[in-house]
Amino acid sequence: VIHIDTKGQEIRRDERIQAIIRIEDTAGDSSLTHLAGIKIRGATSTAYPKKSYAIEFCDSMGGEMDVALFGLRSDDDWILDAMYIDHSRMRNRLCTDIWNDYNRIPHSDVEPEALNGTRGVFVEMFLNGQYNGLYCLTERIDRKQLKLKKHKNTCRGLSYKATTWDNLMG
């Protein structure tokens, strides 16, 4: 269960606001509380009534702070996916879990922990004391997930992100 308290501030799309996030692992009988920045995430999905959120955990000075959640990787950036158009609330997670089980990335021989997809867990989310529904807390696909290393003057792999749908290289 995730409780997000924004102290009455409205969560916006373009900039993070400060929040307090309390996470209860009901299976493990543990909880933790952290400061975090939160903003609405997505493009088309921002028009849906149920919003997805990007969360960035931080320390008391506002610096990024990695947090390991529910047996997933340790990171400061997390996604709370609203799964609004996934009426079963499991299609995306199930498909990605199947993908992770059989897909191997080209450099898995040197980085056996590299994943070509996200991992996630279903959570119930409360926003400012109000029940907001079922979400999927997921990792991000990024260099860290793919285990791509920065190398000076060499390249072992690339990660691309489309920003538009208007052409193949958007």
The strand pair at 67-68 and 30-41 is best described as: unpaired
When pLDDT is cut at 50, 70 and 90, the band that residue 165 belongs to is: low
Q: What is the pLDDT of residue 131?
A: 97
Of residues 30 and 16, more confidently modeled: 16
Q: What is the pLDDT of residue 94?
A: 93
Q: Which residues have a Cβ under 8 Å from the Cβ of 49 and sit 6 or more positions away? A: 84
Distance between CA atoms of residues 100 and 27, nearest Å:
24
Q: Distance of CA 104 to CAs 110, 112, 117, Å?
A: 12, 9, 10
Helix (H) or strand (E) holding 68: strand 67-68
pLDDT cut 90: percent of the chain above it: 53
| Greatest mean pLDDT range, 3-12, 84-93, 100-109 | 3-12
Helix (H) or strand (E) holding 96: helix 91-102
When pLDDT is cut at 50, 70 and 90, the band that residue 141 belongs to is: confident
Of residues 1 and 108, more confidently modeled: 1
Q: What is the pLDDT of residue 116?
A: 85
Averaged pLDDT of the chain: 88
| Amino acid identity, position 98 | I
Q: What is the pLDDT of residue 95?
A: 92
Q: What is the pLDDT of residue 167?
A: 65
Please say if the pLDDT value at position 161 is more than 90.
no
Q: How far is CA 136 from the centre of its chain?
A: 8
Q: What is the pLDDT of residue 149?
A: 77
Please say if the pLDDT value at position 118 is more than 70.
yes
pLDDT in tens, 18-68: 999 999 988 777 788 999 999 999 988 999 999 999 999 998 888 899 998
Distance between CA atoms of residues 51 and 56, nearest Å:
16
Q: Which residues have a Cβ under 8 Å from the Cβ of 84 and sit 6 or more positions away? A: 45, 48, 49, 50, 52
Distance between CA atoms of residues 17 and 88, nearest Å:
31
CB 120 within 8 A of CB 134: no
Please say if the pLDDT value at position 128 is more than 90.
yes
